[in-house]
Amino acid sequence: MIPHGRRFSPRCDKNKTVAEKIFVRHILRKIFLEDWGLKLLALAITLGLWLGVTGLSTHSRRSLTVPLNTIISNDAIVTNTLRQDVEVVLSGDKRRLDQINRSEISASLDLTRIAPGDWVIPLSPDTIWIDNLPQGIVLDEIRPSNMAVKLDSVAEKDVIVKVETVGTVASGFEVYSTTVMPPRIRVRGPANLMKLVDYVKTDEIDLTGKREGFSVRQIAVNSPDPNAAVLSTVVDVFVVIGERRIERTFTVKVEGEGDRSAIFTLFAPRTLLQEASVADFKVDVYLDDAGEIKPRLILPDSLERVSEVRSLRFK
């Protein structure tokens, strides 16, 4: 319904439509036809920024030789020689691939769930991982594709320490004894190997020209097998040296046994033994575990620590 007092005018509606068309043409002119120089400059700047951020991305592949880290559990040990490096093939954006520094990446292989035994482990993106790869770079391949691994369980045991010496003492002298502190140390290694390891050795101790005892503190201890690790790496060694010893036989009366005598042979330093007399020794008796009477030799203090009783019996 047309409001009262106003008349509908087709001319007015037509003028409005013409005005709208003129406005639209003006906007389109502004957008597409005017200020082309500024618009092209803005487009060039935008394109430059986009290329600077994204680059001209191209997909590429690159192979690198990188260190291989093998991870094993604490109760297992590798008994064969493993590869120290592998060749990895990476793929992704060429620019990011070219930026990778091989000294900053390494490959890792997890063997913590592998039971003891002989294995051929596949080397692939499913078993190998690489840390610090740029975003979008993918590990495609490992070369070689497998590696032999021998695993054994770990065992520990205490073994004796043997003293290794070199050279000879001065003429007329000899080594009476060598004492190690501690006398036994713990060794750790493959269980099968530990069954065969009974001792470890010290570094060599030079005895050349020695005339008297001496000590060596904190001398290194070495395992006879490189796969057996010595847990205590140093010991103290005490060497007792004295005049060369000889044997001499004595006959002494047994105390409390009337005219009964005992005969014994003593191994002792030459000078002390030559100066000793029967009066320096005493022999008494004792009952052994079987209840038999046995002779017992009592040495003078001068011979107590440097002598060895080679034989002792009733005459």
The tens digit of pLDDT for each residue in 161-209 reads 999 999 999 999 999 999 999 999 999 999 999 999 999 999 999 999 9
CA 188 to CA 231: how far, in whole Å?
A: 7
Confidence of residue 227 (pLDDT cuts 50, 70, 90): confident
- Answer yes or no: is 277 within a domain: yes
Last residue of a domain, one of 144, 167, 199: 144
What pLDDT does residue 102 have? 85
Hey, how many other C-beta atoms are within 10 angstroms of the C-beta on 109? 20
238 shares a domain with 161: yes
Residues 63 and 50 in one domain: no
Please report, rounded to a whole number, the percentage of residues in the chain having pLDDT higher than 70.
83
- For residue 5, is it within any domain? no
> Tell me, what's the pLDDT at 45?
75
Using the predicted structure, report yes or no on whether residue 55 has a pLDDT greater than 60. Answer: no
Structure tokens at 186: 């713990």
Region of 93 (left: φ > 0; alpha: ψ -120 to 50; beta: rest) is beta
- Verify that 239 and 249 share a domain, yes or no: no
Q: Same structural domain for residues 74 and 131? A: yes
C-beta neighbour count of 111 within 10 angstroms: 17
Output the domain CATH number for residue 97: 2.170.120.30
- Domain containing 93: what range? 59-144
Indicate whether 214 belongs to any domain: yes
Question: Domain for residue 3, yes or no?
Answer: no
Strand partners, 248: 266
Chain segment 117-154, per-residue pLDDT in tens: 999 999 999 999 998 888 889 999 999 999 999 999 99
Spatial contact of 185 and 110, defined as CB atoms under 8 Å apart:
no
pLDDT at 53 > cutoff 90: no
Do residues 144 and 123 touch, judged by C-beta distance below 8 A? yes
What pLDDT digit, counting tens, does each position of 201-225 carry? 999 999 999 999 999 999 999 998 8
pLDDT at 2 over 50: no
- 164 shares its domain with 227: yes
The DSSP-derived string for 137-162 is -EEEEEESSEEEEEEEEEEEEEEEEE
Q: Specify whether 251 is located in the same domain as 237.
A: no
Name the amino acid, one letter, at 185: I
Residues 49 and 80 in one domain: no
Neighbouring-strand partners of residue 112: none
Distance between CA atoms of residues 254 and 284, nearest Å: 5
Q: For the chain, how many structural domains are there in total? A: 4
Among candidate residues 99, 114, 144, the one where a domain is terminated: 144
Distance, C-alpha 53 to centroid of its chain? 46
Per-residue pLDDT band for 8 (boundaries 50, 70, 90) equals: very low
Report how far Cα 9 is from the mean position of its chain's Cα atoms. Answer: 101
Instruction: Say if 4 falls within a structural domain.
Output: no
Summarize pLDDT for 229-283 with one digit per residue, the tens.
999 899 999 999 999 999 999 999 999 888 899 999 999 999 999 999 999 999 9
Query: Cβ neighbours of residue 86 under 8 Å, at least 6 residues apart?
Result: 65, 66, 68, 107, 123, 128, 142, 143, 144
Is the Cβ–Cβ distance between 79 and 227 less than 8 Å? yes
Q: Which amino acid is at 298?
A: I
| Domain C-terminal end among 114, 144, 174 | 144
Q: Give the predicted TM-score (pTM) of the model.
A: 0.60
pLDDT of 176 reads: 93
Task: Determine the Cα–Cα distance for residues 86 and 144; give it in Å rounded to an integer.
Answer: 7
Across 11-15, 141-145, 156-160, 192-196, least confident range = 11-15
Asked, for residue 282, whether it belongs to a domain, the answer is yes
CA–CA separation, 203 and 163 (whole Å): 8
Nearest partner of 77 among 299, 246, 227, 203, judged by Cα: 227
